[in-house]
A and B are shown apart, each in its own frame.
Chain A
Amino acid sequence: MTAKQAFLALALAGGVLSLQAQHRPAPKKTTAKADPALAASLTRGAVVYKNVCITCHQADGGGVPNMNPPLIKTQYVLGDKARLAHIVLAGLAEPIEIDGDEYKQHMPAQAYLTDQQVADVLTYVRNSFGNKASAVQVAEVKAVRATLK
């Protein structure tokens, strides 16, 4: 099995497990909300992340020192969803500073991704690597894309 297949299998297994969990009689203490749509988006988002983002932002979302910024608990990821979608669709050419470290490498625009793919991968990023934030909806991505035309 290649690393890619293994990653996909893990991502899919994770998705299946979380889906199964929703059908189990929920223990009273659990706080995990049953949300099949979110689980499916996360599963698809993991695939997009692996295919598009992982080289620069790395498997752990930690980025590359001095080059590519981390996606872990930063305002860029957890904050304004429109700004985040804009970075994916239009790229980012300015250096940014996070926790005193500067990241200079340009982020190329990923406008070839569909609105669904962008929504999925951002939902995945906002709920991975220790992040916990609301899902990104297709309509939100669509609205940002409209401003770029």
Chain B
Amino acid sequence: MPSFSPRYLLAVPALAASLALLASHPSTPSVAPDPDNAGLKLPAGFGALKVAETGGKARHLAVTPQGVIYVKLNRVKDGKGILVLHSQPGGKATVTGGFGDYGGTGMYVKNGYLYASSDHAVYRYKLDAKGEVEAPGKGELLVRGLKVGSQHESKSIVLDNADNLYVNVGAYANACQEQDRTRGSKGIPNCPILDSAGGIWQFKASQANQTYKTGTRYATGLRNVVGLDWNPQDNQLFVMQHGRDQLHDNWPEMYTDQQSAQLPAECMYALKQGDNAGWPYLYYDPQQKKKMLGPEYGGDGKKEATGNYIDPAAAYPAHMAPNGLLFYTGTMFPAKYRNGAFIAFHGSWNRAPEPQAGYYVVFQPFKDGKPSGQWEVFADNFAGSAAKVATGRADHRPCGLAQGPDGSLYVSDDSKGTIYRIVYNAKK
């Protein structure tokens, strides 16, 4: 609940509206964090509960304005690739059904539709006034024929405010080598993967049966994006790239284990149409704060990349795998979180033999639509212990983020399928 402040007196209609909203959601005021805050470590005043245990590989999730929770599973479970959850008073939710006979990652709600992606297509489903899917068996196929290889298969999705749909198509390679991930193998000139992958494609959000031919390659040179969101403040697409792997494994004479664990940064990019972030030709060195020429393309760890490539908007430690990005627009959390970004870092594997890292949700402050100030760990201990982080044997791995109608932050875990809800409940 908002604290008493003269500012709110100036906004009586808004206050009345929010009270009406609260009244229509009787469960909202009584959300009860678990006694142990779902095992998470959170800033003071925040609490968390395990909303549900789905038992599936819960990738991205979306919550309708009415509070219905939709979860996309990476693999079909009991014939269902999308789970429907309904909350009970107190915040715990029950899986009440499911539909969609395909695995995948993307899950997004906008303008009365639920959008979902498999690893090669995007669908949408009309929602009724209660936030329920009208015809679960009949998804409308919006986009088909997206490229999928044996890595970076997921197709994350988001919409802007002009009825456009943005879809990530991950590069099916580490660094576009002649032999993928093979020691000493050179990069292929004019990387052919970029024609159909390694970027963000733009489609119409309400047009059926689109393909590459009718879509637009909106931005390129992005190895793999899983977390992405539309920034409502500066009306711009932001994405989180999974940076390249294995600098030491493939180029041991140039990079030590330690360097390989710390390079390159996981980067946040603010994209405009036509932008090129430079994969596979470069990687971003967070210590030097420079775009470096990749060793596959003549780099040696010291040469900078040349060319018309954008800089990251922000950089984070290597290999932590940012799988969820969410601009927080709610009013439940304190003011500093408003319009800032939450990032779910799935957790690393490419730091071995150095300790692994990540497995937490980060908050990145924003000002006027740009990252502003140092990021901080917001929700930690999904892994269960520091030792489980170091070995990478995490109990839970944060993947998707969604904002509930009351401003709660939902987090999905694609390891055990736990759905978390983080609330602010400080006594004022």
Residues of A within 8 A of B (CB): 2-4, 7, 50-52, 54-56, 58-60, 62, 64-68, 91, 93, 95, 102, 104-106, 108-110, 112
Chain B: minimal CB distance from A100 (Å): 10
| B235-275 interface bits toward A, Cβ cutoff 8 Å, 1 = contact, 0 = none | 00000000001101100100011101000000000000000
User: What are 20 sample pairs from A and B whose C-beta atoms fall under 8 A apart?
Assistant: A3-B257, A3-B354, A4-B353, A55-B349, A55-B350, A55-B352, A58-B391, A59-B391, A60-B391, A62-B393, A65-B415, A67-B151, A68-B349, A104-B150, A105-B150, A106-B150, A106-B181, A108-B181, A109-B179, A112-B183
Chain B residues in 8 Å Cβ range of A102: 75
Contact B179 A59 (CB under 8 A): no
Chain A: minimal CB distance from B206 (Å): 32
Majority SS at the chain B contact face: loop
Contact A2 B352 (CB under 8 A): no
Contact B349 A67 (CB under 8 A): yes
Residues of B within 8 A of A (CB): 57, 74-75, 150-151, 153, 179-184, 245-246, 248-249, 252, 256-258, 260, 349-350, 352-354, 391-393, 415
Q: Which residue of B lies closest to A62 (CB)?
A: B393
Which of A7, A52, A64, A112 meets B349, CB within 8 Å? A64
Q: Cα distance A7–B380 when bound, in Å? A: 29
Q: Cα distance A22–B352 when bound, in Å? A: 33
Contact A55 B246 (CB under 8 A): yes
Contact A106 B180 (CB under 8 A): yes
Chain A residues in 8 Å Cβ range of B349: 55-56, 58, 64, 67-68
Contact B354 A108 (CB under 8 A): no
Given the known inter-chain contacts A2-B258, A106-B151, please indicate yes or no for A66 contacting B74, CB distance below 8 A: yes
The 8 closest A-B pairs by CB, nearest first: A108-B182, A64-B349, A104-B150, A108-B181, A3-B353, A54-B352, A105-B151, A55-B249
Which of A58, A67, A91 meets B352, CB within 8 Å? A58
Among B57, B75, B181, B350, which residue has the most Cβ atoms of chain A within 10 A?
Answer: B181
Which of B150, B153, B353 meets A93, CB within 8 Å? B150
Q: Cα distance A109–B184 when bound, in Å? A: 12
Among A7, A51, A110, which residue has the most Cβ atoms of chain B within 10 A?
Answer: A51
Q: Cα distance A56–B249 when bound, in Å? A: 10
Contact B352 A59 (CB under 8 A): yes
Q: Cα distance A112–B256 when bound, in Å? A: 20
